[in-house]
Chains A and B, each alone.
Chain A
Amino acid sequence: MTAQATRDVSTAFGTASNRRGKYFSFKRFGTPIVIAVALLTLFLWISSLSLDSIELRTLNWAYLQDRTFEHLRLTVVASAIVAAIAIPAGIALSRVHSKAVHAVVFGIANVGQSTPAIGLVILLAIVWKLGFEVALVGLVAYSVLPVLRNTLVGLEQVDSSLTEAARGMGMRPFQVLTRIELPLAIPVIVAGLRTALVFCVGVATVATFINAGGLGDMIVNGLKLQRWPVLITGAVVVSCIALTIDWLAGLAEDLLKPKGI
């Protein structure tokens, strides 16, 4: 088990279920409040500045909306693809006991994450084409590892006495998987998805280099032309999106936890 996955397992099963009564505790709203305050402060600050023509080209609602939408589209679609690829792969891998196969698959996933995203994305743009699909490939390659690893670890840490009992009760392997193993592994898998989502938000900033839009546009513009309001807006909005997505995923994680854990 890798360190990250171990931590995910312990946090997933360590926190008490917030199902009964304590679901909407004050702690639950901590993050959204911080995000709202940050965005409000940013808005008030930008409104108080007199912006020059270059800044006005990017600091307007239409531009911001378009870039945010592009960014979210990249993040969500990439994460959906990652889930569709990595979770079944993780399940399949948990059924195969060959160390060689594990090593190869994890090797590929590792390469995907360790290859600098910007290098991968630009190489693909030169060899293949520009735009949304290419950026997606880069993002998916980057985020596969946490989900794959967590799926595998989540399934492996299911108590074998439970699966034996299930098989003893006459359940077929598929039923054991869907009714016992997956529900118990869900907290860890969702934790992995949460990580992948946050990765995607961050790495989607690189999409700007191959005409796939996103908030990276604002950051690069602001940096190259030294227009700090633009740069800060881009950076703060990306961070707020990452925090929001992380919070929503945390919500989903708690909702999907089976009762009794």
Chain B
Amino acid sequence: MKKPVLALLATAVAAAMTLTACGGAATSSTSEQKGNELEGLTGVFGAKDFSEQFILSHITSQVLNAHGAETTTNTSVVGSANVRTAFETGQFAGYWEYTGTSWITYNKQTTPLKDKNEMFEAVKEADAKKGIAWLDPAPLNNTYAFAIREDKAKELNIKSLSDVAKLPASEQTFCMESEFSTRDDGWPGLQKEYGLSPEAKVSMLDTGVIYTATQKGQDCNFGEVFETDGRIAALKLTVMEDDKQFFPIYQGALTIKADVLAKYPAIADVMAKVSPKLTTEVMQQLNAKADVDGDDPDEIAKAWLESEGLI
């Protein structure tokens, strides 16, 4: 072959090989079939932009597919509100949402309910008016928390956020994401409720950077973390207790379009076998596999479902 053509061909082959390596996790892997009651169900299950959501989305898609459905996952949308919009406009068939988020952000309520069952029922009712169904929640509570490195916590002798408020202003340094710093149920409310120092130094970082910054302790003592995150234990951080119960309850549950659920009521039965097993501790372990060990969420979901005998 002539030289230019050969060179072009070689480049094309190399490019094609590189691109196949980037194959996205859009389709979920399935194991043995467990039943056929969801045959005909198709759709995309969305996820917010963190590992727990990726794992939950894959778990949902895989377990439904094991019962005859043909669903896929989309884990590339950024920002909670954007995922909710994609869901409301029908791009997603469903995704895992948290009771607190729906209550405060989407239903624009300002006071969270302290009892988790009351919270769930209120949210279920409010969203039902929008044609959104909430399946029974999992025990996991992915609420905000502030963590500090273990040794520093012992040194300062603090266990709860009230203790933190009593610290001198120089020790009250916080790292948080920009979303948390402007949310009504975030930093402004927290600062007021606990009387945290108005001179507290606040650093705004990308979510992932918060964990390493908190562990280093250079720029901030306290980092805004999530209760179910696997990195808390892995990085030897300890969580400050929310003794005034400021942070709303964020129980995770699968939200799904009401008409989809009406057409395939078996979804609720299938998920009822999965959700009760997802406790905060289990979620922390699964999250740690993704964030600490670097495993693929699709694989983590598959391994867990297989170990529980669900697929």
Would B178 and A224 count as touching, CB distance under 8 A? yes
Assembled-state Cα–Cα distance A129/B79 (Å) = 26
* Segment at the A interface, from B68-76, B182-190, B297-305: B182-190
A57 in contact with B182 (CB, 8 Å): yes
Residue B78 CB within 8 A of the other chain: yes
Q: Which residue of B80, B188, B212 contacts A57 across the interface (Cβ within 8 Å)?
A: B188
B184 neighbours in A (Cβ, 8 Å): 53-54
Q: Is the CB of A225 within 8 A of B206?
A: no
User: Would you call A225 and B203 a contact (CB within 8 A)?
Assistant: no
**CB closest residue in chain B, given A216:** B178
Assess whether A226 is in contact with B85, with CB atoms less than 8 Å apart: yes
Is B81 on the interface with A (CB-CB < 8 A)?
Answer: yes
The answer to whether B131 has its CB under 8 Å from any CB of chain A is no
Q: How far, in angstroms, from A128 to B184 measured CA to CA in the complex?
A: 32
Which residue of the partner chain B has the closest CB to A220?
B178
Check if A75 is an interface residue, CB within 8 A of chain B.
Answer: no
Whether the pair A221, B178 counts as a contact (CB closer than 8 A) is: yes
CB of A4 within 8 Å of the partner chain = no
Which one of A90-98, A204-212, A252-260 is at the B interface?
A204-212
Contact of A125 among B82, B183, B209 (CB under 8 A): B209
Q: Looking across the interface, which residue of chain B has its beta carbon closest to that of A118?
A: B206
User: What chain A residues lie within 8 Å of B80 (beta carbons)?
Assistant: 224
Task: Tell me the complex Cα distance, A54–B188, Å.
Answer: 10
With a 10 A CB-CB cut-off, give which of A209, A211, A220 has the most chain B CB atoms: A211
Contact B81 A226 (CB under 8 A): yes
- Provide the residues of chain A in CB contact with B219, threshold 8 Å: 129-131, 211
B205 at the binding interface (Cβ < 8 Å): yes
Among B81, B184, B204, chain A packs the most CB atoms within 10 A around the CB of: B204
A206 (CB) vs chain B CBs: closest residue: B206
Does A211 lie within 8 Å of B81, measured CB to CB? no
Q: A125 vs B78: C-alpha distance in the bound complex, in angstroms?
A: 22
Interface bits A20-57 vs B (CB < 8 Å: 1, else 0): 00000000000000000000000000000000011001
Judged by DSSP, the binding face of A is helix
Task: Evaluate contact between A221 and B182: CB separation under 8 angstroms.
Answer: yes
Complex alpha-carbon distance, A37 and B213, angstroms: 42
Cβ A129 vs Cβ B81 within 8 A: no
Is the pair A208, B79 in contact by a Cβ cutoff of 8 Å? no
B209 nearest CB neighbor, chain A only: A125
Q: Does A126 contact B (CB under 8 A)?
A: yes
Per-residue CB proximity of B217-249 to A under 8 Å, as 1/0?
011000000000000000000000000000000
Q: Which residues of A contact B175 (CB under 8 A)?
A: 211
A residues in contact with B37, CB < 8 Å: none
Task: Please measure, in the bound complex, the distance between the C-alpha atom of A125 and the C-alpha atom of B212, giving whole angstroms.
Answer: 9
Interface-central residue, A54, A122, A130, A217, by most chain B CB under 10 Å: A130
CB distance from B158 to the nearest CB of A (A): 23
B213's closest neighbor in chain A, by CB?
Answer: A130
When C-beta atoms are compared, the residue in chain A nearest to B205 turns out to be A211
CB contacts (< 8 Å) of B178 on chain A: these are 208, 217, 220-221, 224
Shortest distance between the CB of B200 and any CB in chain A (Å): 14
* Interface membership of B35, Cβ < 8 A: no
**Any chain A CB within 8 A of the CB of B208?**
yes
Q: Is A223 touching B209 in the complex (CB atoms < 8 A)?
A: no
Q: Which one, B78, B79, B203, B208, contacts A122 given CB within 8 A?
A: B208
Q: Does B136 contact A (CB under 8 A)?
A: no
A126-B209, A130-B209, A211-B219 given as contacts; is B182 within 8 A of A223 (CB)? Answer: no
- Tell whether A79 is near chain B: CB-to-CB under 8 Å: no
Determine whether B179 belongs to the interface, using a CB cutoff of 8 Å to chain A.
Answer: yes
Smallest CB gap from B177: residue in A:
A224
Query: What A residues does B188 contact at CB under 8 A?
Result: 57
A223 near B205 with CB under 8 A, answer no
Q: Are A54 and B183 in contact (CB under 8 A)?
A: yes
- Chain A residues lying within 8 Å of B205, measured Cβ to Cβ, are 125, 130, 209-211
Given A122-B206, A126-B212, A211-B219, A221 contacting B81 (CB threshold 8 A)? no
As a 0/1 sequence over residues 197 to 215 of chain B, the CB contacts with chain A under 8 angstroms (1 = contact) are: 0000001111011001100
9 A-B contacts (beta carbon < 8 Å):
A54-B182, A130-B209, A209-B205, A211-B203, A217-B178, A217-B204, A225-B182, A225-B183, A226-B81
**Chain B interface (Cβ within 8 Å of chain A)?**
78-82, 85, 175, 178-179, 182-184, 188, 203-206, 208-209, 212-213, 218-219
> Could you tell me which A residues sit within 8 Å of B by CB distance?
53-54, 57-58, 122, 125-126, 129-131, 208-211, 217, 220-221, 223-226
Closest 7 CB pairs of A and B: A226-B81, A209-B206, A211-B203, A224-B79, A224-B179, A126-B212, A57-B182
> Apart from A54-B182, A58-B182, A225-B81, what are 11 other A-B pairs with CB-CB below 8 Å?
A126-B209, A210-B209, A211-B204, A211-B205, A217-B204, A220-B178, A221-B178, A221-B182, A224-B79, A224-B80, A226-B82
